[in-house]
Structure 1
Amino acid sequence: MTAPETVPVSVLCMERCHLGEGPSYDAGSDTAWWFDILERRLFEAHLETGRITIHDLPVMASALARIDAGRQMLAAEDGLYLREIASGKLSRVAELVGKDGPIRSNDARVHHSGTFWVSTMGRAAAAGAGAIHAFRDGKLSLLFSGLTIPNAICFSPDGATGYFADTRENALYRVVLDPATGLPVEAPAILHKREAAGGLDGAVTDAQGLIWCAIWGGGCVDVYSPRGERLRSIAMPARQPSCPVFVGPRFDRLLVTSAHENMNADARAADPDHGRTFLAEVGAIGRAEPSLRWGGS
Protein backbone atom coordinates (compact mmCIF):
# COMPACT_ATOMS: atom_id res chain seq x y z
CA MET A 1 0.00 0.00 0.00
CA THR A 2 1.43 3.36 -1.04
CA ALA A 3 2.09 6.12 1.49
CA PRO A 4 -0.71 8.67 1.99
CA GLU A 5 -0.51 11.78 -0.17
CA THR A 6 0.07 15.20 1.36
CA VAL A 7 -2.43 18.02 0.81
CA PRO A 8 -2.71 21.49 2.41
CA VAL A 9 -4.14 21.05 5.92
CA SER A 10 -4.79 23.76 8.51
CA VAL A 11 -5.94 23.58 12.13
CA LEU A 12 -9.50 24.83 12.42
CA CYS A 13 -9.65 24.41 16.21
CA MET A 14 -6.64 24.17 18.52
CA GLU A 15 -8.74 22.88 21.43
CA ARG A 16 -7.98 19.18 21.85
CA CYS A 17 -10.83 16.67 21.89
CA HIS A 18 -10.56 13.58 24.05
CA LEU A 19 -12.85 11.88 21.53
CA GLY A 20 -13.71 14.24 18.70
CA GLU A 21 -16.55 12.88 16.57
CA GLY A 22 -19.73 13.55 14.61
CA PRO A 23 -18.89 16.59 12.47
CA SER A 24 -21.72 18.11 10.42
CA TYR A 25 -22.12 21.30 8.42
CA ASP A 26 -25.07 23.69 8.15
CA ALA A 27 -24.60 25.49 4.83
CA GLY A 28 -27.34 28.02 5.58
CA SER A 29 -25.40 29.51 8.50
CA ASP A 30 -21.90 28.44 7.33
CA THR A 31 -21.50 26.65 10.66
CA ALA A 32 -19.70 23.41 11.43
CA TRP A 33 -20.63 21.35 14.48
CA TRP A 34 -18.80 18.48 16.18
CA PHE A 35 -18.55 16.74 19.54
CA ASP A 36 -16.05 15.72 22.17
CA ILE A 37 -18.01 12.67 23.29
CA LEU A 38 -16.20 11.78 26.49
CA GLU A 39 -15.94 15.36 27.76
CA ARG A 40 -19.61 16.11 26.97
CA ARG A 41 -18.89 19.10 24.73
CA LEU A 42 -20.46 20.42 21.52
CA PHE A 43 -18.32 22.62 19.27
CA GLU A 44 -19.84 25.32 17.05
CA ALA A 45 -17.56 26.93 14.44
CA HIS A 46 -18.64 29.78 12.18
CA LEU A 47 -16.26 29.25 9.28
CA GLU A 48 -16.27 32.73 7.70
CA THR A 49 -15.36 34.50 10.94
CA GLY A 50 -13.42 31.66 12.58
CA ARG A 51 -15.46 32.12 15.77
CA ILE A 52 -15.67 28.92 17.80
CA THR A 53 -18.04 28.36 20.71
CA ILE A 54 -17.88 25.33 23.00
CA HIS A 55 -21.16 24.24 24.62
CA ASP A 56 -21.13 22.03 27.71
CA LEU A 57 -23.68 19.20 27.59
CA PRO A 58 -25.37 17.26 30.41
CA VAL A 59 -24.97 13.97 28.51
CA MET A 60 -22.40 12.30 26.26
CA ALA A 61 -23.51 13.09 22.70
CA SER A 62 -21.82 12.09 19.47
CA ALA A 63 -23.67 13.45 16.43
CA LEU A 64 -26.44 15.79 15.35
CA ALA A 65 -28.85 16.37 12.50
CA ARG A 66 -30.18 19.71 11.32
CA ILE A 67 -33.96 20.04 11.46
CA ASP A 68 -34.29 23.71 10.51
CA ALA A 69 -32.58 27.03 11.22
CA GLY A 70 -33.53 26.87 14.89
CA ARG A 71 -33.50 23.19 15.82
CA GLN A 72 -31.24 20.14 15.81
CA MET A 73 -31.55 16.49 16.82
CA LEU A 74 -28.71 15.19 19.00
CA ALA A 75 -27.73 11.53 19.30
CA ALA A 76 -26.65 10.92 22.90
CA GLU A 77 -25.81 8.15 25.34
CA ASP A 78 -29.41 7.49 26.37
CA GLY A 79 -31.48 8.72 23.46
CA LEU A 80 -32.23 11.36 20.86
CA TYR A 81 -32.66 14.96 22.04
CA LEU A 82 -34.32 17.91 20.35
CA ARG A 83 -32.01 20.91 20.77
CA GLU A 84 -33.01 24.55 20.42
CA ILE A 85 -29.97 26.26 18.92
CA ALA A 86 -30.59 29.70 20.43
CA SER A 87 -30.99 28.52 24.02
CA GLY A 88 -29.30 25.12 23.99
CA LYS A 89 -32.39 23.59 25.61
CA LEU A 90 -32.56 19.80 25.29
CA SER A 91 -35.72 17.65 25.25
CA ARG A 92 -35.44 13.87 24.92
CA VAL A 93 -37.72 12.48 22.22
CA ALA A 94 -36.56 8.84 21.90
CA GLU A 95 -34.75 6.37 24.15
CA LEU A 96 -31.69 4.32 23.21
CA VAL A 97 -31.30 1.17 25.31
CA GLY A 98 -28.78 -1.67 25.13
CA LYS A 99 -29.51 -5.31 25.91
CA ASP A 100 -26.07 -6.12 27.32
CA GLY A 101 -25.17 -3.26 29.63
CA PRO A 102 -24.56 0.49 29.29
CA ILE A 103 -24.33 1.91 25.78
CA ARG A 104 -23.72 5.25 24.11
CA SER A 105 -24.42 6.71 20.71
CA ASN A 106 -21.59 6.78 18.21
CA ASP A 107 -21.87 7.50 14.49
CA ALA A 108 -24.84 9.02 12.59
CA ARG A 109 -25.84 10.56 9.29
CA VAL A 110 -29.10 11.77 7.66
CA HIS A 111 -30.38 10.12 4.48
CA HIS A 112 -31.76 12.51 1.85
CA SER A 113 -35.29 11.28 2.65
CA GLY A 114 -34.86 12.81 6.12
CA THR A 115 -34.36 9.48 7.92
CA PHE A 116 -31.65 9.69 10.62
CA TRP A 117 -29.38 6.64 10.98
CA VAL A 118 -27.80 6.44 14.45
CA SER A 119 -25.38 3.83 15.77
CA THR A 120 -24.90 2.69 19.35
CA MET A 121 -22.13 0.70 21.02
CA GLY A 122 -21.18 -0.65 24.43
CA ARG A 123 -19.44 1.84 26.72
CA ALA A 124 -16.42 -0.50 26.78
CA ALA A 125 -16.87 -1.58 23.13
CA ALA A 126 -18.21 -5.01 24.09
CA ALA A 127 -18.24 -7.42 21.15
CA GLY A 128 -21.63 -7.60 19.46
CA ALA A 129 -23.23 -4.89 21.61
CA GLY A 130 -23.37 -2.35 18.77
CA ALA A 131 -26.35 -1.59 16.56
CA ILE A 132 -27.65 0.83 13.95
CA HIS A 133 -31.10 2.41 14.29
CA ALA A 134 -33.29 4.54 12.02
CA PHE A 135 -35.28 7.52 13.30
CA ARG A 136 -38.12 8.50 10.99
CA ASP A 137 -41.39 10.34 11.60
CA GLY A 138 -40.77 10.34 15.34
CA LYS A 139 -40.19 6.58 15.60
CA LEU A 140 -36.95 4.71 16.28
CA SER A 141 -36.46 1.27 14.70
CA LEU A 142 -33.59 -1.23 14.78
CA LEU A 143 -31.85 -1.82 11.44
CA PHE A 144 -28.77 -3.91 12.25
CA SER A 145 -27.47 -5.53 15.44
CA GLY A 146 -24.52 -7.72 16.49
CA LEU A 147 -21.94 -5.07 15.57
CA THR A 148 -19.18 -3.88 17.89
CA ILE A 149 -18.13 -0.33 16.87
CA PRO A 150 -20.58 0.81 14.15
CA ASN A 151 -19.15 3.65 12.10
CA ALA A 152 -18.88 5.14 8.58
CA ILE A 153 -22.62 5.71 8.13
CA CYS A 154 -23.15 7.53 4.83
CA PHE A 155 -25.27 7.35 1.69
CA SER A 156 -24.93 7.49 -2.07
CA PRO A 157 -26.07 10.78 -3.68
CA ASP A 158 -29.15 9.08 -5.17
CA GLY A 159 -30.13 7.61 -1.80
CA ALA A 160 -30.26 4.05 -3.16
CA THR A 161 -27.23 2.78 -1.24
CA GLY A 162 -26.18 3.00 2.38
CA TYR A 163 -22.74 2.31 3.83
CA PHE A 164 -21.50 1.53 7.32
CA ALA A 165 -18.50 -0.10 8.97
CA ASP A 166 -17.67 -2.15 12.02
CA THR A 167 -14.35 -0.69 13.12
CA ARG A 168 -13.48 -3.72 15.23
CA GLU A 169 -13.89 -6.01 12.20
CA ASN A 170 -12.39 -3.41 9.81
CA ALA A 171 -15.18 -4.17 7.35
CA LEU A 172 -17.07 -1.65 5.23
CA TYR A 173 -20.60 -2.75 4.31
CA ARG A 174 -22.93 -1.81 1.48
CA VAL A 175 -26.72 -2.11 1.70
CA VAL A 176 -29.44 -1.43 -0.89
CA LEU A 177 -32.03 1.13 0.27
CA ASP A 178 -35.42 2.43 -0.70
CA PRO A 179 -34.48 5.97 -1.82
CA ALA A 180 -37.85 7.29 -0.65
CA THR A 181 -37.37 6.19 2.97
CA GLY A 182 -33.67 5.46 3.51
CA LEU A 183 -34.58 2.01 4.85
CA PRO A 184 -32.91 -1.27 3.76
CA VAL A 185 -34.51 -3.54 1.18
CA GLU A 186 -31.74 -6.16 1.23
CA ALA A 187 -29.24 -7.55 3.74
CA PRO A 188 -25.86 -5.77 4.00
CA ALA A 189 -22.84 -7.20 2.17
CA ILE A 190 -19.13 -6.55 2.75
CA LEU A 191 -17.83 -3.99 0.27
CA HIS A 192 -14.24 -3.69 1.53
CA LYS A 193 -12.14 -5.42 4.17
CA ARG A 194 -9.21 -3.34 5.38
CA GLU A 195 -6.05 -5.37 5.96
CA ALA A 196 -3.62 -2.51 6.70
CA ALA A 197 -3.03 -0.82 10.06
CA GLY A 198 -5.73 1.48 11.37
CA GLY A 199 -9.50 1.13 11.64
CA LEU A 200 -12.35 2.29 9.41
CA ASP A 201 -14.04 5.10 11.36
CA GLY A 202 -16.43 7.90 10.37
CA ALA A 203 -17.20 8.55 6.70
CA VAL A 204 -19.01 10.84 4.27
CA THR A 205 -19.73 10.63 0.54
CA ASP A 206 -18.88 13.34 -1.97
CA ALA A 207 -20.92 14.60 -4.92
CA GLN A 208 -19.63 11.77 -7.12
CA GLY A 209 -20.53 9.10 -4.58
CA LEU A 210 -17.00 8.34 -3.41
CA ILE A 211 -16.66 7.31 0.24
CA TRP A 212 -14.25 9.37 2.38
CA CYS A 213 -13.40 7.40 5.52
CA ALA A 214 -11.21 8.44 8.46
CA ILE A 215 -8.68 5.76 9.42
CA TRP A 216 -8.39 5.64 13.22
CA GLY A 217 -4.79 4.93 14.17
CA GLY A 218 -3.70 5.25 10.54
CA GLY A 219 -3.28 9.03 10.42
CA CYS A 220 -5.17 9.39 7.16
CA VAL A 221 -8.48 9.63 5.32
CA ASP A 222 -8.97 6.97 2.66
CA VAL A 223 -11.24 7.30 -0.37
CA TYR A 224 -13.19 4.31 -1.70
CA SER A 225 -15.27 3.82 -4.82
CA PRO A 226 -18.83 2.44 -4.63
CA ARG A 227 -17.24 -0.87 -5.71
CA GLY A 228 -14.92 -0.91 -2.71
CA GLU A 229 -11.72 0.09 -4.48
CA ARG A 230 -9.30 2.24 -2.49
CA LEU A 231 -8.62 5.23 -4.74
CA ARG A 232 -6.71 7.68 -2.53
CA SER A 233 -5.21 8.03 0.92
CA ILE A 234 -4.69 11.52 2.37
CA ALA A 235 -2.36 12.17 5.30
CA MET A 236 -3.76 13.87 8.41
CA PRO A 237 -1.69 15.65 11.11
CA ALA A 238 -3.07 13.39 13.89
CA ARG A 239 -2.77 9.63 14.32
CA GLN A 240 -6.41 9.16 15.30
CA PRO A 241 -8.63 10.99 12.80
CA SER A 242 -12.23 10.07 13.54
CA CYS A 243 -14.70 11.52 11.04
CA PRO A 244 -14.83 13.86 7.99
CA VAL A 245 -17.46 16.16 6.51
CA PHE A 246 -17.36 18.52 3.52
CA VAL A 247 -17.74 22.19 4.45
CA GLY A 248 -17.76 25.67 2.92
CA PRO A 249 -20.05 27.42 0.43
CA ARG A 250 -18.80 25.15 -2.37
CA PHE A 251 -18.32 22.09 -0.11
CA ASP A 252 -14.71 21.98 -1.27
CA ARG A 253 -12.91 21.56 2.06
CA LEU A 254 -12.85 18.50 4.28
CA LEU A 255 -13.25 19.04 8.03
CA VAL A 256 -11.75 16.15 10.00
CA THR A 257 -12.05 15.56 13.75
CA SER A 258 -9.52 13.61 15.79
CA ALA A 259 -9.00 12.20 19.29
CA HIS A 260 -6.44 11.28 21.92
CA GLU A 261 -8.51 8.53 23.54
CA ASN A 262 -6.31 5.73 24.97
CA MET A 263 -3.08 7.57 24.14
CA ASN A 264 -0.47 7.66 26.92
CA ALA A 265 1.89 10.58 27.51
CA ASP A 266 4.54 9.24 25.13
CA ALA A 267 1.99 8.68 22.36
CA ARG A 268 0.58 12.18 22.78
CA ALA A 269 4.09 13.69 22.69
CA ALA A 270 4.79 11.86 19.45
CA ASP A 271 1.53 13.16 17.97
CA PRO A 272 1.60 16.91 18.65
CA ASP A 273 -1.71 17.71 16.94
CA HIS A 274 -3.65 14.93 18.67
CA GLY A 275 -7.30 15.75 19.29
CA ARG A 276 -7.40 18.85 17.13
CA THR A 277 -9.84 19.59 14.30
CA PHE A 278 -8.56 20.18 10.77
CA LEU A 279 -9.52 21.63 7.40
CA ALA A 280 -8.01 19.90 4.36
CA GLU A 281 -7.88 21.04 0.73
CA VAL A 282 -8.56 17.67 -0.91
CA GLY A 283 -9.48 18.64 -4.48
CA ALA A 284 -12.98 17.21 -4.29
CA ILE A 285 -16.52 18.54 -3.96
CA GLY A 286 -19.02 17.34 -1.37
CA ARG A 287 -22.69 18.18 -0.98
CA ALA A 288 -25.09 19.60 1.54
CA GLU A 289 -26.10 17.49 4.55
CA PRO A 290 -29.86 16.74 4.36
CA SER A 291 -32.21 17.90 7.11
CA LEU A 292 -34.04 15.47 9.38
CA ARG A 293 -37.80 14.96 8.91
CA TRP A 294 -39.52 16.17 12.07
CA GLY A 295 -43.11 17.21 12.70
CA GLY A 296 -43.96 17.38 9.03
CA SER A 297 -40.80 19.34 8.16
Structure 2
Amino acid sequence: MIAALYDDRPCALGEGPLWHPERQQLFWFDITGQRMLSRDADGPLEWAFDEMVSAAGWVDRNTLLIASETALATFDLIEGESQFLAPLEADSPATRSNDGRADPWGGFWIGTMGKAAEPGAGAIYRFHDGALRRVEPGITISNAICFDRDRACAYYTDTPTRQVMRLPVDAEGWPDGPAEVAVDLRAEGLNPDGAVTDKEGNLWIAQWGASRVACYSPEGALLRAVDCAGQHASCPAFGGAGLDQLFVTTAREGLRAEEIAEAPENGCVFTAHGVAQGHPEPRVIL
Protein backbone atom coordinates (compact mmCIF):
# COMPACT_ATOMS: atom_id res chain seq x y z
CA MET A 1 0.00 0.00 0.00
CA ILE A 2 1.12 3.55 -0.73
CA ALA A 3 0.20 6.41 1.60
CA ALA A 4 -1.38 9.53 0.07
CA LEU A 5 -0.41 13.13 0.77
CA TYR A 6 -2.27 14.55 3.78
CA ASP A 7 -0.61 17.95 4.24
CA ASP A 8 1.70 19.62 1.70
CA ARG A 9 3.63 21.89 4.07
CA PRO A 10 7.18 20.47 4.08
CA CYS A 11 8.99 20.12 7.40
CA ALA A 12 12.74 20.15 7.79
CA LEU A 13 12.33 17.52 10.51
CA GLY A 14 8.72 16.40 10.79
CA GLU A 15 8.03 14.40 13.96
CA GLY A 16 5.68 13.63 16.83
CA PRO A 17 2.23 13.14 15.21
CA LEU A 18 -0.55 13.09 17.82
CA TRP A 19 -4.22 12.36 17.10
CA HIS A 20 -6.24 14.21 19.73
CA PRO A 21 -9.23 11.93 20.45
CA GLU A 22 -11.49 14.67 21.82
CA ARG A 23 -10.77 17.21 19.08
CA GLN A 24 -10.52 14.56 16.31
CA GLN A 25 -7.51 16.49 15.07
CA LEU A 26 -3.91 15.69 14.15
CA PHE A 27 -0.99 17.71 15.55
CA TRP A 28 2.65 17.30 14.52
CA PHE A 29 6.00 19.11 14.77
CA ASP A 30 8.77 20.50 12.63
CA ILE A 31 11.54 20.14 15.21
CA THR A 32 14.26 22.29 13.71
CA GLY A 33 11.65 24.65 12.27
CA GLN A 34 10.49 25.31 15.87
CA ARG A 35 6.80 24.95 15.06
CA MET A 36 3.73 22.79 15.64
CA LEU A 37 1.30 22.19 12.80
CA SER A 38 -2.27 20.95 12.49
CA ARG A 39 -5.38 21.10 10.33
CA ASP A 40 -9.05 21.61 11.12
CA ALA A 41 -12.21 22.09 9.08
CA ASP A 42 -11.11 25.62 8.17
CA GLY A 43 -7.69 24.58 6.88
CA PRO A 44 -4.06 24.54 8.01
CA LEU A 45 -2.93 25.76 11.45
CA GLU A 46 0.52 26.58 12.76
CA TRP A 47 2.14 27.74 16.02
CA ALA A 48 5.71 29.11 16.29
CA PHE A 49 7.97 28.55 19.31
CA ASP A 50 11.21 30.18 20.47
CA GLU A 51 13.05 26.84 20.68
CA MET A 52 12.80 23.39 19.19
CA VAL A 53 9.67 21.36 20.02
CA SER A 54 9.26 17.69 19.20
CA ALA A 55 6.41 15.75 20.85
CA ALA A 56 3.13 16.13 22.70
CA GLY A 57 0.42 14.43 24.71
CA TRP A 58 -3.11 15.68 25.33
CA VAL A 59 -4.25 16.87 28.76
CA ASP A 60 -7.78 18.01 27.93
CA ARG A 61 -9.67 19.32 24.91
CA ASN A 62 -7.75 22.58 24.72
CA THR A 63 -4.46 21.71 26.46
CA LEU A 64 -1.42 19.79 25.26
CA LEU A 65 1.73 18.78 27.10
CA ILE A 66 4.61 19.75 24.80
CA ALA A 67 8.28 18.74 25.02
CA SER A 68 10.82 21.33 23.95
CA GLU A 69 14.60 21.28 23.95
CA THR A 70 14.71 22.53 27.56
CA ALA A 71 11.38 21.76 29.24
CA LEU A 72 8.01 20.11 29.47
CA ALA A 73 5.17 22.62 29.41
CA THR A 74 1.44 22.77 28.96
CA PHE A 75 0.19 24.63 25.89
CA ASP A 76 -3.23 26.29 25.60
CA LEU A 77 -4.48 25.81 22.05
CA ILE A 78 -6.97 28.66 22.36
CA GLU A 79 -4.70 31.28 23.89
CA GLY A 80 -1.47 30.02 22.32
CA GLU A 81 0.33 30.25 25.67
CA SER A 82 2.70 27.86 27.46
CA GLN A 83 3.06 27.14 31.17
CA PHE A 84 6.24 25.53 32.49
CA LEU A 85 5.99 22.07 34.10
CA ALA A 86 9.51 20.64 34.44
CA PRO A 87 13.03 21.22 33.12
CA LEU A 88 14.31 18.76 30.52
CA GLU A 89 18.11 18.78 30.42
CA ALA A 90 17.84 22.57 30.60
CA ASP A 91 21.44 22.79 31.78
CA SER A 92 22.69 20.97 28.66
CA PRO A 93 22.62 23.25 25.59
CA ALA A 94 24.02 20.42 23.47
CA THR A 95 20.83 18.30 23.73
CA ARG A 96 17.18 18.56 22.75
CA SER A 97 13.99 16.56 23.04
CA ASN A 98 13.07 14.06 20.33
CA ASP A 99 10.48 11.26 20.34
CA GLY A 100 7.79 11.06 23.04
CA ARG A 101 4.37 9.62 23.83
CA ALA A 102 1.85 9.37 26.68
CA ASP A 103 1.64 6.05 28.50
CA PRO A 104 -1.52 4.15 29.56
CA TRP A 105 -1.06 5.21 33.20
CA GLY A 106 -1.30 8.94 32.47
CA GLY A 107 2.44 9.53 32.33
CA PHE A 108 4.51 10.92 29.47
CA TRP A 109 7.76 9.43 28.16
CA ILE A 110 10.21 11.68 26.36
CA GLY A 111 13.59 10.98 24.80
CA THR A 112 16.48 13.37 24.32
CA MET A 113 19.52 13.37 22.05
CA GLY A 114 22.53 15.46 21.20
CA LYS A 115 21.79 18.18 18.65
CA ALA A 116 24.56 16.67 16.52
CA ALA A 117 23.64 13.10 17.52
CA GLU A 118 26.64 12.82 19.83
CA PRO A 119 27.00 9.19 20.97
CA GLY A 120 25.26 8.48 24.28
CA ALA A 121 24.41 12.15 24.92
CA GLY A 122 20.68 11.55 25.35
CA ALA A 123 18.33 9.61 27.61
CA ILE A 124 14.70 8.56 28.02
CA TYR A 125 12.58 10.01 30.81
CA ARG A 126 9.14 9.49 32.27
CA PHE A 127 7.04 12.39 33.61
CA HIS A 128 4.53 11.12 36.17
CA ASP A 129 2.87 12.60 39.28
CA GLY A 130 4.51 15.95 38.60
CA ALA A 131 8.09 14.64 38.54
CA LEU A 132 10.51 13.78 35.73
CA ARG A 133 12.62 10.64 36.21
CA ARG A 134 15.28 9.19 33.90
CA VAL A 135 14.53 5.59 32.94
CA GLU A 136 17.16 4.84 30.24
CA PRO A 137 20.54 6.66 30.08
CA GLY A 138 23.19 6.74 27.37
CA ILE A 139 20.91 7.07 24.35
CA THR A 140 22.22 8.50 21.07
CA ILE A 141 18.96 9.01 19.08
CA SER A 142 15.84 8.27 21.14
CA ASN A 143 12.89 6.93 19.15
CA ALA A 144 10.05 4.38 18.88
CA ILE A 145 8.55 5.18 22.31
CA CYS A 146 5.20 3.36 22.52
CA PHE A 147 3.38 0.89 24.73
CA ASP A 148 2.00 -2.64 24.75
CA ARG A 149 -1.80 -2.90 24.60
CA ASP A 150 -1.81 -5.07 27.75
CA ARG A 151 0.40 -2.62 29.71
CA ALA A 152 3.13 -5.24 30.00
CA CYS A 153 5.94 -3.22 28.46
CA ALA A 154 7.23 -0.07 26.85
CA TYR A 155 9.09 -0.04 23.54
CA TYR A 156 11.93 2.25 22.50
CA THR A 157 14.97 2.36 20.25
CA ASP A 158 18.34 4.00 20.09
CA THR A 159 18.18 4.37 16.30
CA PRO A 160 21.89 3.71 15.48
CA THR A 161 21.64 0.27 17.12
CA ARG A 162 18.92 -0.71 14.60
CA GLN A 163 17.12 -2.59 17.36
CA VAL A 164 13.76 -1.83 18.95
CA MET A 165 13.79 -2.78 22.62
CA ARG A 166 11.04 -4.16 24.85
CA LEU A 167 11.23 -2.84 28.43
CA PRO A 168 9.05 -4.63 31.01
CA VAL A 169 7.08 -2.33 33.30
CA ASP A 170 5.26 -2.82 36.59
CA ALA A 171 1.64 -2.11 37.48
CA GLU A 172 2.42 1.61 37.84
CA GLY A 173 4.20 1.86 34.50
CA TRP A 174 7.79 1.98 35.79
CA PRO A 175 10.63 -0.17 34.37
CA ASP A 176 10.66 -3.61 35.95
CA GLY A 177 13.66 -5.49 34.61
CA PRO A 178 16.19 -5.28 31.78
CA ALA A 179 15.22 -4.43 28.21
CA GLU A 180 15.40 -7.11 25.53
CA VAL A 181 15.36 -6.94 21.73
CA ALA A 182 11.85 -6.92 20.23
CA VAL A 183 12.65 -6.11 16.58
CA ASP A 184 16.12 -6.48 15.09
CA LEU A 185 16.71 -4.58 11.83
CA ARG A 186 20.49 -4.95 11.65
CA ALA A 187 20.48 -7.60 8.93
CA GLU A 188 18.37 -5.39 6.64
CA GLY A 189 20.32 -2.24 7.47
CA LEU A 190 17.12 -0.39 8.37
CA ASN A 191 16.91 2.56 10.77
CA PRO A 192 13.98 2.48 13.21
CA ASP A 193 12.50 5.88 13.99
CA GLY A 194 9.14 6.65 15.62
CA ALA A 195 6.67 3.85 16.34
CA VAL A 196 3.14 3.15 17.53
CA THR A 197 1.22 0.00 18.46
CA ASP A 198 -2.12 -1.01 16.93
CA LYS A 199 -5.18 -2.62 18.49
CA GLU A 200 -3.73 -6.11 17.90
CA GLY A 201 -0.48 -5.27 19.68
CA ASN A 202 1.62 -5.04 16.51
CA LEU A 203 4.37 -2.43 16.15
CA TRP A 204 4.28 0.09 13.29
CA ILE A 205 7.81 1.46 12.89
CA ALA A 206 8.82 4.37 10.66
CA GLN A 207 12.09 3.57 8.90
CA TRP A 208 14.33 6.55 8.27
CA GLY A 209 15.74 6.49 4.74
CA ALA A 210 13.44 3.69 3.55
CA SER A 211 10.28 5.67 2.58
CA ARG A 212 8.02 3.43 4.63
CA VAL A 213 6.36 2.41 7.87
CA ALA A 214 6.61 -1.33 8.52
CA CYS A 215 4.41 -3.46 10.77
CA TYR A 216 5.95 -6.13 13.02
CA SER A 217 4.36 -8.68 15.30
CA PRO A 218 5.21 -8.59 19.04
CA GLU A 219 7.61 -11.45 18.24
CA GLY A 220 9.47 -9.29 15.72
CA ALA A 221 8.17 -10.79 12.46
CA LEU A 222 7.59 -8.44 9.52
CA LEU A 223 3.89 -8.49 8.62
CA ARG A 224 3.46 -5.73 6.01
CA ALA A 225 4.57 -2.22 5.08
CA VAL A 226 3.09 1.06 3.89
CA ASP A 227 5.20 3.13 1.50
CA CYS A 228 5.21 6.92 1.34
CA ALA A 229 6.82 9.51 -0.93
CA GLY A 230 8.92 10.93 1.88
CA GLN A 231 12.32 9.23 1.97
CA HIS A 232 12.84 9.88 5.67
CA ALA A 233 9.69 8.49 7.31
CA SER A 234 9.98 9.65 10.92
CA CYS A 235 6.91 8.73 12.98
CA PRO A 236 3.45 7.14 12.60
CA ALA A 237 0.18 7.72 14.45
CA PHE A 238 -3.29 6.23 14.15
CA GLY A 239 -6.24 8.59 13.87
CA GLY A 240 -9.48 9.32 12.10
CA ALA A 241 -12.99 8.65 13.36
CA GLY A 242 -12.41 4.89 13.50
CA LEU A 243 -8.71 5.09 14.37
CA ASP A 244 -8.08 3.21 11.11
CA GLN A 245 -6.13 5.98 9.42
CA LEU A 246 -2.32 5.80 9.59
CA PHE A 247 -0.55 9.17 9.52
CA VAL A 248 3.19 9.41 8.79
CA THR A 249 5.47 12.41 9.28
CA THR A 250 8.60 12.75 7.16
CA ALA A 251 11.71 14.94 7.04
CA ARG A 252 13.96 16.74 4.57
CA GLU A 253 16.95 16.69 6.91
CA GLY A 254 20.02 15.20 5.26
CA LEU A 255 18.60 15.25 1.72
CA ARG A 256 20.40 16.97 -1.15
CA ALA A 257 18.77 19.91 -2.93
CA GLU A 258 18.38 17.85 -6.11
CA GLU A 259 16.61 15.07 -4.17
CA ILE A 260 14.13 17.57 -2.78
CA ALA A 261 13.61 19.13 -6.22
CA GLU A 262 12.86 15.70 -7.69
CA ALA A 263 10.49 14.79 -4.83
CA PRO A 264 9.11 17.96 -3.19
CA GLU A 265 6.77 15.85 -1.04
CA ASN A 266 9.74 15.05 1.19
CA GLY A 267 9.00 16.51 4.63
CA CYS A 268 5.22 16.40 4.21
CA VAL A 269 2.66 14.30 6.12
CA PHE A 270 1.07 11.24 4.50
CA THR A 271 -1.90 9.05 5.32
CA ALA A 272 -3.19 5.56 4.53
CA HIS A 273 -6.68 4.28 5.28
CA GLY A 274 -7.66 0.85 6.49
CA VAL A 275 -4.22 -0.69 7.10
CA ALA A 276 -4.97 -1.44 10.77
CA GLN A 277 -6.86 -0.02 13.72
CA GLY A 278 -5.11 1.87 16.47
CA HIS A 279 -6.18 2.70 20.00
CA PRO A 280 -6.86 6.16 21.46
CA GLU A 281 -3.86 8.07 22.74
CA PRO A 282 -4.05 8.14 26.56
CA ARG A 283 -4.66 11.39 28.40
CA VAL A 284 -1.69 12.86 30.28
CA ILE A 285 -2.70 13.24 33.93
CA LEU A 286 -1.02 16.20 35.59
Q: Under TM normalisation by the shorter chain, which class is it?
A: over 0.9
Is 1:45 paired with 2:39? yes
Matched, 1:129 2:127: no
Asked whether the 8 Å contact 2:97–2:113 carries over to 1, the reply is yes
What does residue range 54-133 of structure 1 map to in structure 2 within 5 Å? 54-97=46-89, 102-133=94-125
Give 2:46's aligned amino acid. I
Give the equivalent residue in structure 1 for 2:19.
Answer: 25
Question: In the aligned structure 2, how far is the partner of 1:271 from the partner of 1:197?
Answer: 23
Q: Shift in Å at residue 99 of structure 1?
A: 8.0
Q: Which amino acid aligns with 1:28?
A: E
* Matched-pair contact (CA < 8 Å) for 2:239–2:246: yes
Tell me, in whole angstroms, the C-alpha distance in 2 between the residues paired with 1:216 and 1:271: 16
Query: Tell me, which stretches of 5 or more residues in structure 1 are unaligned?
Result: 1-5
The equivalent of 1:182 in structure 2 is 173
> Taking structure 1 as the reference length, what is the TM-score of the superposition?
0.92
Deviation per CA, 1:86-125: give whole Å up to 9, x if none: 1111122111117875110000011111110000000100
- Please say if residues 197 and 217 of structure 1, whose CA atoms lie closer than 8 Å, have aligned partners that are also in contact: no
CA distances 1:132-151 after superposition (whole Å, capped 9, x unpaired): 00000110000001111010
Matched, 1:193 2:184: yes
- Pairing 1:249-264 to 2, within 5 Å after superposition: 249-264=241-256
Structure 2: which amino acid aligns with 1:17? Answer: C
Aligned counterpart, 1:148 = 140
Instruction: Please report how far the alpha carbon of residue 263 of structure 1 lies from its aligned counterpart in structure 2 after TM superposition.
Output: 1.1
Residues 246 and 275 of structure 2 are in contact (CA less than 8 Å); yes or no, is this contact kept in structure 1? Answer: no
Taking the aligned partners of 1:215 and 1:173, their CA distance within structure 2 comes to 15
CA shift at 1:271, angstroms?
Answer: 2.8
Equivalent-residue separation in structure 2 for 1:166 and 1:270 (angstroms): 31
Q: TM-score, normalised by structure 2?
A: 0.96
8 Å contact kept, 1:220–1:236: yes
1:166 aligns with 2:158: yes
Runs (5+) with no aligned partner, structure 2 = none
**How many Å separate the matches in 2 of 1:98 and 1:173?**
27
**SS of 2:119's equivalent?**
coil
Higher mean Cα deviation, 223-232 or 72-81? 223-232
AA aligned to 1:256 is V
The 1-side partners of 2:268 and 2:206 are apart by: 14
Structure 2 Cα separation of the partners of residues 282 and 242 of structure 1: 20
Q: How many residues align?
A: 285
Whether the aligned pair in 2 keeps the contact of 1:167 and 1:199 (CA below 8 Å) is yes
Matching residue's letter, 1:32: L
Shift of 1:196: 2.0
What one-letter code is carried by the residue in structure 2 that aligns with 1:208?
Answer: E
1:77–1:201 CA distance, 2 compared to 1 (3 A): same
1:149-200 superposed Cα distances (whole Å, 9 cap, x missing partner): 010000011211110011111111001112x422111111112221324410
- Counterpart residue identity of residue 230, structure 2: A
Cα-Cα RMSD: 1.4
Alpha-carbon distance between aligned partners in 2 of 1:28 and 1:15, rounded to the nearest angstrom: 24
Cross-structure match for 2:8: 14
Q: Are 1:222 and 2:214 matched, yes or no?
A: yes
CA contact under 8 A between 1:77 and 1:105: conserved in structure 2? yes
